[in-house]
């Protein structure tokens, strides 16, 4: 699990080098697929089925501005100065899955949008801090929800984090909202993916005509950050990493 998730972190860092105005999201997808396969893994998102019988056609999800998650890479989606793009990436390596997401700025973005990204990423770590043996799923969700809503942001209800291991999506679901003390009790050794999906405006979302992309109803931007972690008796072990992405910024 560590190896698969560290490869996701390296892939996201490789993509970060190419995120700039004028690049289209299909180009980013090609870079990601080549990088993942060159490292002996398989991109798990490619051909992943959805309830509508439409397999996902790409290796990463590229969600720009008001697309919350599951954006399909396209040659027609060209990044522009001031955009934000969430890239969600999954790998299958030696029989185990890695899954992580990061929302990137394209050039200079507004202070308002930068604040949305900051709060969303911080909410992820507040959720992780509650992912300890003996706590409950509701503790994670409440930590994310309370922090984001205190800043006036919307917390998407229709999509959740999830268990992860030999399969990309396993039980339990890990909501980004809830009541402390409620829900399944966490046990040491569980692996889960926590992924706040937070909107600048209203929390309402809808499914695009492509049957994959989830967009905000009010057209305002959304941010998405995700880590895979192992629950321990004390502090959780974060298996994925943003370290290489953050190092590129410095």
Give the predicted TM-score (pTM) of the model.
0.97
pLDDT band at 11 (very low <50, low <70, confident <90, very high): very high
pLDDT band at 250 (very low <50, low <70, confident <90, very high): low
User: How many Å apart are CA 97 and CA 1, to the nearest integer?
Assistant: 6
Closest alpha carbon to 238 in 164, 135, 185, 148: 164
Average pLDDT across the chain, whole number: 97
Instruction: Tell me the pLDDT tens digit for each residue of 88-141.
Output: 999 999 999 999 999 999 999 999 999 999 999 999 999 999 999 999 999 999
CB atoms within 10 A of CB 232: 15
pLDDT band at 249 (very low <50, low <70, confident <90, very high): confident
Report the helix count and the strand count for the chain, using DSSP H and E: 5, 15
Average pLDDT over residues 150-169: 98
pLDDT band at 236 (very low <50, low <70, confident <90, very high): very high
Instruction: Tell me the pLDDT tens digit for each residue of 25-76.
Output: 999 999 999 999 999 999 999 999 998 889 999 999 999 999 999 999 999 9
């Amino acid at each position: 699990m560590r190896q698969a998730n560290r490869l996701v972190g390296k892939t996201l860092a490789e993509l970060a080098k190419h995120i700039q105005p004028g690049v289209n999201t299909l180009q980013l997808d090609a870079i990601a697929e080549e990088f993942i396969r060159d490292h002996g893994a398989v991109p798990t998102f490619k051909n992943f089925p959805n309830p509508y019988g439409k397999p996902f056609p790409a290796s990463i999800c590229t969600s720009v501005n008001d697309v919350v998650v599951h954006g399909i890479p396209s040659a027609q989606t060209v990044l522009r100065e001031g955009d934000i793009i969430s890239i969600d990436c999954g790998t299958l390596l030696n029989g185990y899955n890695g899954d992580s997401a990061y929302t990137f700025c394209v050039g200079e973005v507004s202070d308002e949008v930068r604040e949305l990204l900051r709060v969303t990423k911080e909410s992820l770590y507040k959720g992780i801090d509650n992912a300890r043996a003996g706590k409950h799923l509701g503790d994670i969700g409440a930590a994310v929800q309370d922090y984001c809503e205190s800043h006036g942001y919307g917390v998407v209800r229709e999509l959740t984090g999830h268990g992860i291991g030999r399969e990309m999506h396993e039980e339990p679901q890990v909501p980004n909202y809830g009541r402390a003390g409620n829900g399944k009790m966490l046990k040491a050794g569980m692996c889960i993916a926590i992924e706040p999906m937070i909107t600048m405006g209203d929390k309402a979302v809808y499914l695009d005509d492509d049957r994959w992309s989830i967009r905000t109803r009010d057209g305002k931007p959304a941010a998405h950050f995700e880590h895979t972690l192992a629950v321990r008796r004390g502090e959780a072990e974060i298996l994925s990493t943003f370290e290489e992405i953050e190092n590129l910024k410095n």
